Amino acid sequence: MNRTAPSEAPARAAGHGTAASRPRRTRRWALAGASGLLVGLVLADRVAAGVAEGRMADRIAARQSALVAAPNVSIDGFPFLWHAAAGTYPQVEVEGRAETRDGLPVTAAFDLRDVSKKPGGYSAAAARAEFKVPLDALGAKRGPDVRLTGHDGRLEITRSVMGVPLVVTAALTLTGDTVTLEPTAASLAGRPLDPANPRIVAALKAAERKIPELPLGLSPSAISVDGSDVTVHSEAKDLALPARA
């Protein structure tokens, strides 16, 4: 009787299991290597995008003297290197802080869509921009006793008249490149006044303000007010982005 047969069968089975595990290890190493390569490519692509964003921010800062610091630039679209080679970017966002000639702080935000390289620069198929000015800064320009606040999309102007609070509510309207104010309500020491009072109308007429020239040849298209800012809006199609200012 052969007593060695039972021990030989497990040995053969063990040898077969070891041989079968080798392809699995190979596949795991291959998957790990491919994953590492993919991660490396993604990181390299993001690094390249970051470098391009930094260079673009530096160029914008050099050309826009009103900026108080280099802007933040975000170039969307993956893979970035593919878009860079083709000279097209689905979306470019720029945000920066500037100051007008008379010292008003402005936060500007641009959303450029379908940016493509053209002779002499780039062009954006569509562009939207917002320019925000703090109400506190605007009020300070009107005098120390003037306070501006936004409420329900309208501007509330509060000032002291011989120690008594005068409050005028006005709707902002954009006429060309000039911001006009139309009185809709008024009160003195809490008592209602006729907003059509000639003195109120004349005071708001004197407060009209022309919007300074916007970058990239943009034109103002709307104006709005919230609790803390007045915002000038602008939209454009087929906007030229020259390579040089």
Residues 111 and 177 in one domain: yes
Chain-centre distance of CA 112, in angstroms? 10
CB 170 within 8 A of CB 208: no
Residues 81 and 112 in one domain: no
Q: Out of 37-51, 121-135, 157-171, 198-212, which region has the weakest mean confidence (pLDDT)?
A: 37-51
pLDDT tens for each residue of 64-105: 777 888 888 888 877 777 777 777 888 889 999 999 888 899
Q: What is the pLDDT of residue 1?
A: 44
Q: Is the dihedral of CA 123, 128, 134, 139 positive or negative?
A: positive
Residues 122 and 190 in one domain: yes
Residues 83 and 105 in one domain: no
Residues 80 and 144 in one domain: no
Helix, strand, coil abundance in the chain, percent, nearest 5: 35, 45, 20
Domain end call among 48, 65, 87: 87
What is the span of the domain harbouring residue 67? 1-87
Residues 200 and 142 in one domain: yes
The answer to whether position 95 is within a domain reads: no
Domains held by the chain: number: 2
The answer to whether position 176 is within a domain reads: yes
The answer to whether position 110 is within a domain reads: yes
Tell me the Cα Rg of the chain. 32
How far apart (Å, rounded) are the C-alpha atoms in residues 104 and 109? 16
pLDDT tens for each residue of 163-202: 899 999 999 999 999 999 999 999 999 999 999 999 999 9
Please give the model's pTM, rounded to 2 decimal places: 0.78
Q: Which residue has the tokens 């020259």?
A: 242
User: 76-80, 153-157, 241-245 — which one is most confidently predicted on average?
Assistant: 153-157
The answer to whether position 93 is within a domain reads: no
